[in-house]
Amino acid sequence: MRTRIFQCAVILAFLLCVGNAYAGVQVPADMLLAAPQAMKAQKAEVPFSHNQHAKAGVECKTCHHTWDGKAEVLKCSSSGCHDQPDKKDKMAFYKAFHGKDEHSCVGCHKAAKKAGNKLAPTACKACHVKK
């Protein structure tokens, strides 16, 4: 009996891991997004759930828009990406999250809201949640 339970636990753990992997890349657990330290954040960190967005049908590559599906997934603020502190810069850190395009949180949420999805937050406070 004991070994049975143990075997089940092992199989379950295995399935959970596989279920969370995508093309060999591990999908992160729920995270708190923050600005790089050098940028001196003005707003509170933003909770973000990969699982919830997967359930809502958002593809990895919609957000990770330079990812080829195999190599390492880059951070938004990786060098040469959205690494500029000046809001007006084309590669501004700010624009990665508030730009008008579908890759950005606010861009996609505004479009989703327009299409009738009330679950995608667009208010500052709904994302920058004060602790």
Q: Which is nearer to ligand HEC, 10 or 87 (CB)?
A: 87
With CB under 6 A as the rule, give the number of residues binding ligand HEC: 47
Q: Which of residues 80-119 bind ligand HEC (CB under 6 A)?
A: 94, 97-98, 102, 105-106, 108-109, 112, 117, 119
Q: What is the distance between the alpha carbons of residues 94 and 82, in angstroms, rounded to a whole number?
A: 8
**Binds ligand HEC (CB under 6 A): choice among 9, 12, 14, 43:** 43
The residue within the footprint of ligand HEC, chosen from 35, 84, 92, 99 (CB under 6 A), is 35
Are 34 and 41 within 8 A, CB to CB? yes
Give CA angle at 49 (76, 29), nearest 5°. Answer: 90
Nearest-angstrom CA–CA distance, 72 and 41: 26
CB nearer ligand HEC, residue 13 or residue 28: 28
Shortest distance, CB of residue 50 to ligand HEC, whole angstroms?
5
User: What per-residue string of b and e applies to 29-38 under the rule 16 or more CB within 10 Å gives b?
Assistant: eeeeeebeee
Q: Is 11 exposed, middle or buried (0-12, 13-18, 19+ CB in 10 A)?
A: exposed
Figure out which of the listed residues 9, 28, 30, 100 binds ligand HEC, where binding follows CB under 6 A: 28
For the chain, the residue count is 131
Enumerate binding residues for ligand HEC (CB under 6 A): 22, 25, 27-28, 33-35, 41-43, 45-48, 50, 52-54, 56, 58, 60, 62-64, 73, 75-77, 94, 97-98, 102, 105-106, 108-109, 112, 117, 119-124, 126-128
